[in-house]
Structure 1
Amino acid sequence: MTRQSITLAKQNDEWLKKQVEEEEFTSKSEAVNYLIKQARRQEDYVEFVRMKLDSAEKSGVAKKQTREEMLAEFKRKLNL
């Protein structure tokens, strides 16, 4: 892994320390890596939704789905 030095706002540092103290993570680094991974997943999800919307707009015909069915399809395709 690459070693980095970062500066955190006081409240963010305190939050990270609390996560380690409460044994949610074994270190601040583990917590930061987890948060970055979550952000990347969210970014992938947003891109997938944009792609689906773009495709739907271009097709001119929308498949009739409830909000729940659409969300289930998105999660299935992202393996969530």
Structure 2
Amino acid sequence: MIPEPQAGTDTAARIEKLETTIAFQDQAIEELNQALALHFKEIEALKRELHNLGSQLREVEAHPALAPSPEPPPPHY
């Protein structure tokens, strides 16, 4: 015959362990959610900066007078 598990203490301990695990997982999920939101904001800021730099580069390329002059070749010894 298979022994029946203790109904009171074993089940209560298992439930308490599960509740503790869930609480830690909830906290971890919240921290990950906050980090993800911050990363999305940073990505959006970087996209705007990249767009602005691309616009500036196209503007400089469109006006050769604004482009930096080529460097002279280095002297040879």
Q: TM-score, structure 1 length as denominator?
A: 0.43
As a proportion of its length, which structure holds more helix? 2
Q: TM (normalized to structure 2)? A: 0.44
